[in-house]
Amino acid sequence: MNGFEAVLYGFIQGTTEYLPVSSSAHLILLPKFLGNEDPGLAFDVFLHLGTLFATLIYFWKDWVALLRPDHWRRNLAKRDGISIATLVVATIPAVLAGLLLQHWADTIFRGEGVVVVTLTIGALLLYFSDRFAKSTRSLEGARFRDALLVGLFQCLALVPGMSRSGSTMAGARLAGFSRASAAHFSFLMSAPITAGAILFEMKKAGAELFTAGTIPMSSFVIAFFSTFIFGMLSIGFLLRFLKKVGFLSFAIYRVALSLLVYFVFRPF
């Protein structure tokens, strides 16, 4: 892998992790279009580290506020608003689903046919949840039941093509949150699940993390910084974009990509 390919992987991961178009589907398809082998779990760790750092740094003020003891006490007394407890509740369903379905997610869910179907289903979910949902709520009114609902939608991301951000934003929209609040909630939720994914991938990668292998270490570093930079840009873009425009353009992109995958690979 050369430097350009490392930047390309970082661009794909950093952008599609936050835009509701499925980073997992793009990372499955990218080596197929490039004619290369999958870069492996160790490389995935560096990509996910890039997005984790982007989430932590872009929303650093949120994390500082969430960690203050007075915020915990106020949140527990009112039982609403985003808190560490809210994020934990939102993360539990995906953790349980991951433990039960990870083998399937790593094997039978990774075919081109699955990606064609899930990209289309995710597009419909994203569009209709945005088109017909009310949008009067802000994150200050979030409750544990909202976190649980959005957390259940996050489980859909185990299947490549569904999109973690797309599924959670659709769930938040169905719970009545505004587009910007739904995106904000989705981004905050991404930190614990991404951290968990990194630990899981590190365990699976094992010694691969400490050997150079076929990919030069410089490509790992380039991919990390590229993912981080494009992740920061993607977060800012989407939060501004959703204040004026809905999810229709992303739904159209997903359908177009599913058609491209179908006609290129003919999975069925």
Residue 30: closest CA among 46, 16, 18: 16
Contact at 8 Å (CB) between 20 and 247? yes
Give percent of the chain above pLDDT 90. 62
Beta bridge partners of 177: 137
Residue 64 burial by Cβ neighbours in a 10 Å radius (0-12, 13-18, 19+): exposed
| Residue 15: domain span | 3-265
DSSP state of 133: S
- In tens, the pLDDT along 33-86 reads 888 888 888 899 999 999 999 999 999 999 998 888 776 666 655 556 788 888
Residue 266 main-chain phi, psi, to 5 deg = 45, 60
Q: Report the percentage of the chain scoring pLDDT > 70.
A: 93
Name which of 160, 166, 154 is nearest 112 in CA terms.
Answer: 160
**pLDDT score at 116:** 95
Residue 73 phi, psi (nearest 5): -65, -45
Q: What is the pLDDT of residue 78?
A: 58
* Cα-based distances in Å from 261 to 25, 26, 76, 160, 257: 10, 11, 47, 13, 6
Q: What is the pLDDT of residue 110?
A: 74
| Residue 254 near residue 76 (C-beta atoms within 8 A) | no
* Residue 94 near residue 190, CB atoms below 8 Å: no
pLDDT tens, 193-241?
A: 999 989 988 887 765 665 656 788 899 999 999 999 999 999 999 999 9
Give the predicted TM-score (pTM) of the model: 0.91
For residue 188, how many C-alpha atoms fall within 13 Å in the half-sphere facing its CB?
27
C-alpha distances in Å from residue 59, one per residue of 146, 184, 188, 260: 21, 9, 8, 35
- Is 142 within 8 Å of 83 (Cβ atoms)? no
Compute the C-alpha angle 194/196/199, nearest 5°.
110
Integer Cα distance of 129 and 167 in angstroms:
10
Number of structural domains the chain divides into: 1
Residue 162 DSSP SS3:
coil
State the average pLDDT for the chain: 89
Query: With 60 as the cut, is the pLDDT of residue 190 above it?
Result: yes
Q: Which of 80, 94, 103, 105 is nearest to 160 (CA)?
A: 105
pLDDT digits (tens, 9 = 90+) for 146-157: 999 999 999 999
Q: What is the pLDDT of residues 131-172, one digit of tens each?
A: 888 777 888 888 889 999 999 999 999 999 999 999 999 999
For residue 48, what is the enclosing H or E element?
A: helix 41-58
